[in-house]
Structure 1
Amino acid sequence: MNAPAPIQAAAAGDKAAGVNWAEKRYLIVDDFVGVRQLLREALRSLGARHIDQASSGGEAMSMLTRLQYDVVLCDFNLGEGKSGQHVLEEARMRGLLMPSCVWLMVSAEKSVEAVMGAAEHQPDAYLIKPITEGVLLTRLNRAWQRKQVFQEIDHAYLEKDYLRAARLCEEAAARSKLHEIDLLRMRAALLLKAGEAEQARLVYEKVLQERDFNWARTGVGKIRMANGDNEAARQMFQGVIAENRFYLDAYDQLARSLENMGRTQEACDVLERAAKLSPNSVPRQRALGMAALKLGNIALAEKAFRKCLQVGEYSIMKTVDAYFGLARVLGQKSDPKEALLLLAAAQRDFSGNMVDLRCKITEGLVYHESGDYRRARKSGDELEAMLKQERQRPDTPTCLEMATLLFAVGVKEAPAELLCYVVRNNDENTVIHEEVQRIFDKARMAEEGTSLITSARRDASELMNKGVLLWKTNKLDEAVAWMRDARLSLPDNMRILFNSAQILISHLQARGYDEALVNETNEVLMHVDRIAPGQQRFAQLIEQLQKLIPGRMTAQEIEAELTDAMKDDHDKE
């Protein structure tokens, strides 16, 4: 039987593009067997032979964990459990998709809520049912061709070598006018991740000279905000929203700029508007709840946290913060009973000593805010005992919250030590120093707090300087060992982390390749990227480390190989 004209045309285009669809591996995700069969037949008309199927989000995640797919066709609404949005979100965050993988979101959903929710996680296309074979094959071919341009760049990105990836974007843009704008957009984003804000600004402004793209204007706004010019950033974000009320990233950035200026009410209003447009974003609902709680808008905070729990039930973005936030709301509503049930649920759904610690903090705050000071004091005593047993200190926000509670229930020594630990871990962060001072002031320890802050900063500086001195006097083994201990003592101190990575790299440069030290350096830098992404020195050190790995090609070597390959192709013609 002859294929219909649209399919013949698509097949001809695929053949011309040299795509071997038969050898690709496909995954179809849909809860209706009939739809899966229709999509399977459409792919078979391309010659596809390796086609897997999943009937639920959970089954899809299991298959994505085991196998690498070239193409995924995923329905948005998968019934009970994970939705297609959840599957895409988790697959991206867990790095389960190959850089060249094409993801087509397929759905009968036409609502703004559904389309925008899916779009925030950037599928390669969003197809509305019913789908003709011609449309499917045309969109698949278009997405596939585009993804091949980014394949090498994506590999560098997955290795977090953002500077190399940015250079590859620049080189590819010079060769491909068809994809130039997309490549420049990716280059700017990579430069921002690498901490090269000024270079990123130049890329955005180059694009804006050609056309007024909202993403480029938003990018410039982010850079201005990072440089402390929050008012100029605010104006840019508001201008983007005025032109495109569905550009959600501009709402999130606008809220941040307003929060930076202390305009929490306006930030909350912006987040509320964005949440109405796309209510299924777990991070946005969490941010809205936190802003509303800070303002004392208990009704809005409760609504946001409950929505956050609802949409996060099957999401990898599910956050324990929503449990704690809602518990705090209930404490202020004098409903400690439901608050304690929520804390029990948090311990059930999230494991780890830090969760137990945060539950105990929130429990004490709930009792204190609901006026039960006797139980609040009991929680404080239990928290103090837990703190003595913990070998690892919590992160900075948790330490600040814990110190606030302990001071409130009459404990003095433990919270003061916690705040000193926070300062040592953030010895150059004046914003945190001011927050710590406010907590000391509230506890009527203003003068003592100032002295403790000064002493803690000095301790951190002396700890780091000893390691740097060993390094500069060429005592590399001792320097590596010293900084290793310093990281154990202050695991989130950025200066110690960066200098530790630099000393490890210097050791590798001087003494030769050592796999254990390479892995240790990588672990240090990945920790930096988790707690403070977008650091310029991070990108520079990653690039230095990559050059020390045997077999790693430099950008110049890659460019030379590409030039030779293009010359060979020309000679063959």
Structure 2
Amino acid sequence: MSQMFAGKAPNAATARSVNWADKHYLVVDDCASIRQLLRESLRNMGAKLIDQATDGAEAVALISNNRYDIILCDYHLDGGRNGQQILEEARGNNWLKPSSMFVMVSAEKSAESVMGTAEYHPDAYLIKPITEGMLDTRLNRIWQKKQVFQQIDLAYAQKDYAGAAVQCDFQIAANPLHENDLLRMKATLLLKCGERDGARAIYEQVLGQRNCTWAKAGLAQLLMQDGDYAGASLMFQHVIEGNSLFLEAYDQLAAAHKQMGQQEQASTVLERAARMSPNSVARQNTLGEISLRLGNVASAEKAFRKCISVGEHSISKTADPYFGLARVCSIKKAPKEALQLLLTVQKKFAGEASDLRARVTEGLVYLDNDDRHSATVIAMEFEAMLATASAADLPSPNTCMDIATLLLEVGAKDPAIKLLCHIIQNNDDDKSVRDEVQKVFAYAQMAEEGAALIEEARKEAADIMNRGVLLWKTNKLDEAVDWMRAARHKMPGNLRVLLNTAQILISHVQKLGYDQAVLAEAAEVLAQVEKIAPGQRRHTELSSQLAAILPDSAPAGVSEFLDIDGHAMPGL
């Protein structure tokens, strides 16, 4: 597909004037006079086809059914979604064409609205009042830049990352004014192709010429993927020192602290970011969870309530902050509100996982508020469930820890220990998870015994892994495959088990010949890795190995798991 880019790239600087008459527009504003003003300005520029929306719901309905060239959207809208949430939903659902222009319009100059919107990358943020000349100038500037990136964006949408990276080189030669943005895009594309060394070279090249925030953040992200959380932490701190408004660095720095078990540092970083941009659903929820673990109930409550408020009309809305707030209310001896929140979850987020978590949270609410009988009834339900559940059937680590806490509190020690050991074996190299499991043991007055159980579970996981690797390295490939299949069954969430399983399956085909079922299994395992922890370095490397041994026309059993570059599809 990259052959389509073999011709000379167009030079945006010499591109023809924009024909605004052939574009499709959407104006979103709850004020009729503002809509009229923007329509008149667009018509004076030559626009003909202009749609209007008065609120977020109407805007989303129109954007989902049309492919607009230009959207002018007010930030503050009466009721429902605001402009930031409309943009978030449009990007999340791929409703915008690569050439589409999304311009946020607002009378609001506060850091909260500007920073919050900037996180979702509108093409421009215009402050009211807007003159016709201002609008024409900004739209022209955006359009010219869009022409530089149009072919790159099209290739990206088709997942032809290698072709898009080649197109970046053509565009850099033709449009040196956009070199910085094009190099940044090329580095991103190279990472998508698994060419980490190429991306690193770009970051280092740019930093050799100037102090560049995104290049430094890119190197820090590579350190994160390599598991060098201390090095990544230091570099992200340098990024923030150089540009205190680069919000992504705060989230990544907090993630690095969290991986190292430094919950207080992670909380401090997120609180600082949340003060600058309080409308991020994910950031507020993470801040709430960390604050709750630290026992900072007031901070947790503030974060969860804000998360629920800003998430009400967001595509990023989840049940997590409701569960977190329910625990906060329970701890504050407000069981009625806690139970009401759980009922709300069951109405808004119906599903087995949510129902399960709601039930265990209900049990913890009863415990917090001295209703031991009701808590015991729920605990016995979970004990019965665990007696027949396979490892693959068990819920997320956080839910498992809550179940174990409930079981330990009512005296069901054995199933609780088994569950906590399962968490450790599936997250044996994650210090933050080990610390949380240790807290569960300590809360149950089992700190010393718990520490020993954690180490025993880690050793068992390592022994199982090492046995499989030894079989592989001694060329006992059939035995190695069988062994790792059993390991995967026992530890379905262990990243190292999954990655080693994929490696051994790929080696099996490389050394013993083509096997459709084995290749399909390898692709499925890599898809599970991407689902659990996107961006893993070994995942990228193994995906490239897998793609290299696929025949030109892979059978359905293999290709259904792969995108066009041979990378395991993340949605499986």
TM-score interval (norm. to shorter): 0.7 to 0.9
Q: Contact between 1:440 and 1:449, CA under 8 Å: does it hold in 2?
A: no
In the alignment, does 2:377 pair up with 1:378?
Answer: yes
In the alignment, does 2:59 pair up with 1:60?
Answer: yes
Which residue type is aligned with residue 418 of structure 1?
Answer: L
Which residue type is aligned with residue 306 of structure 2?
Answer: K
**1:286, distance to aligned residue in structure 2 (A):** 1.5
Which residue type is aligned with residue 533 of structure 1?
Answer: P
Q: Contact between 2:28 and 2:72, CA under 8 Å: does it hold in 1?
A: yes
**1:375, distance to aligned residue in structure 2 (A):** 3.2
Counterpart for residue 534 of structure 2 = 533
In the alignment, does 2:263 pair up with 1:264?
Answer: yes
Q: Distance in 2 between matches of 1:105 and 1:506?
A: 53
Q: Distance in 2 between matches of 1:462 and 1:24?
A: 63
Counterpart for residue 365 of structure 2 = 366
Deviations 1:176-196, CA, capped at 9 Å, x for gaps: 312110011223344556665
Aligned positions of 1:182-193 closer than 5 A: 182-191=181-190
Compared CA separation, residues 303 and 34, structure 1 to 2 (3 A): same
Which residue type is aligned with residue 29 of structure 2?
Answer: D
In the alignment, does 2:280 pair up with 1:293?
Answer: no
Which residue type is aligned with residue 394 of structure 1?
Answer: P
Counterpart for residue 408 of structure 1 = 409
Compared CA separation, residues 504 and 485, structure 1 to 2 (3 A): farther
Aligned positions of 1:138-153 closer than 5 A: 138-153=137-152
Q: Distance in 1 between matches of 2:35 and 2:114?
A: 21
Compared CA separation, residues 234 and 459, structure 1 to 2 (3 A): closer
Aligned positions of 1:111-150 closer than 5 A: 111-150=110-149
Q: Distance in 2 between matches of 1:518 and 1:152?
A: 33
Q: Contact between 1:423 and 1:453, CA under 8 Å: does it hold in 2?
A: yes
SS in 2 for 1:200: helix
Q: Distance in 1 between matches of 2:470 and 2:65?
A: 47
**1:119, distance to aligned residue in structure 2 (A):** 0.8
**1:128, distance to aligned residue in structure 2 (A):** 1.3
Structure 1 residue ranges without an equivalent (≥5): 1-12, 555-573
SS in 2 for 1:109: coil
In the alignment, does 2:435 pair up with 1:395?
Answer: no
Counterpart for residue 327 of structure 1 = 326
Compared CA separation, residues 190 and 492, structure 1 to 2 (3 A): farther
Q: Contact between 2:13 and 2:144, CA under 8 Å: does it hold in 1?
A: no
Compared CA separation, residues 59 and 266, structure 1 to 2 (3 A): same
Q: Contact between 1:22 and 1:49, CA under 8 Å: does it hold in 2?
A: yes
Structure 2 residue ranges without an equivalent (≥5): 1-11, 555-562, 566-572
Q: Contact between 1:505 and 1:521, CA under 8 Å: does it hold in 2?
A: no
Compared CA separation, residues 445 and 272, structure 1 to 2 (3 A): closer
SS in 2 for 1:123: coil
Counterpart for residue 558 of structure 2 = none
**1:521, distance to aligned residue in structure 2 (A):** 7.8
Q: Distance in 1 between matches of 2:284 and 2:358?
A: 21
Compared CA separation, residues 447 and 487, structure 1 to 2 (3 A): closer
Compared CA separation, residues 41 and 518, structure 1 to 2 (3 A): farther
Q: Contact between 2:289 and 2:324, CA under 8 Å: does it hold in 1?
A: yes
Compared CA separation, residues 192 and 21, structure 1 to 2 (3 A): same
**1:484, distance to aligned residue in structure 2 (A):** 9.3
**1:104, distance to aligned residue in structure 2 (A):** 0.9
**1:491, distance to aligned residue in structure 2 (A):** 4.9
**1:87, distance to aligned residue in structure 2 (A):** 0.9
Counterpart for residue 312 of structure 2 = 313
Counterpart for residue 90 of structure 1 = 89
Counterpart for residue 207 of structure 1 = 206
Which residue type is aligned with residue 317 of structure 1?
Answer: S
Counterpart for residue 179 of structure 2 = 180
Q: Contact between 1:406 and 1:412, CA under 8 Å: does it hold in 2?
A: yes
Q: Contact between 1:292 and 1:300, CA under 8 Å: does it hold in 2?
A: yes
Of 458-467 and 327-336, more deviation after overlay is shown by: 458-467
TM-score by length of 1: 0.78
Of 526-535 and 71-80, more deviation after overlay is shown by: 526-535
Q: Contact between 2:339 and 2:362, CA under 8 Å: does it hold in 1?
A: yes
Counterpart for residue 75 of structure 1 = 74
Compared CA separation, residues 115 and 376, structure 1 to 2 (3 A): same
TM-score by length of 2: 0.78
Which residue type is aligned with residue 359 of structure 2?
Answer: K
Counterpart for residue 336 of structure 2 = 337
Q: Distance in 2 between matches of 1:259 and 1:505?
A: 34
Which residue type is aligned with residue 532 of structure 2?
Answer: I
Q: Distance in 1 between matches of 2:326 and 2:149?
A: 45
Aligned positions of 1:392-471 closer than 5 A: 392-423=393-424, 425-426=426-427, 432=433, 443=446, 444=449, 450-455=455-460
SS in 2 for 1:17: coil
Q: Distance in 1 between matches of 2:497 and 2:231?
A: 34
**1:83, distance to aligned residue in structure 2 (A):** 0.5
SS in 1 for 2:177: coil
Counterpart for residue 33 of structure 2 = 34
RMSD of the alignment, in Å?
4.2
Counterpart for residue 5 of structure 2 = none
**1:550, distance to aligned residue in structure 2 (A):** 6.7
Counterpart for residue 220 of structure 1 = 219
Deviations 1:301-330, CA, capped at 9 Å, x for gaps: 111111111111111122322111112222
Q: Contact between 1:90 and 1:316, CA under 8 Å: does it hold in 2?
A: yes
SS in 1 for 2:125: strand
**1:355, distance to aligned residue in structure 2 (A):** 0.6
SS in 1 for 2:57: helix
SS in 2 for 1:150: helix
**1:448, distance to aligned residue in structure 2 (A):** 5.6
**1:33, distance to aligned residue in structure 2 (A):** 3.4
Q: Distance in 1 between matches of 2:409 and 2:159?
A: 43
Compared CA separation, residues 528 and 338, structure 1 to 2 (3 A): same
Counterpart for residue 108 of structure 2 = 109
SS in 2 for 1:315: coil
Q: Distance in 1 between matches of 2:121 and 2:370?
A: 47
SS in 1 for 2:102: strand
**1:506, distance to aligned residue in structure 2 (A):** 9.3
Q: Distance in 2 between matches of 1:25 and 1:365?
A: 54
Which residue type is aligned with residue 408 of structure 2?
Answer: F
Deviations 1:370-427, CA, capped at 9 Å, x for gaps: 4444433233123334556877321233223322332333223433443454455446
Deviations 1:111-145, CA, capped at 9 Å, x for gaps: 22111111111101111122222222222222122
Q: Distance in 2 between matches of 1:39 and 1:306?
A: 36
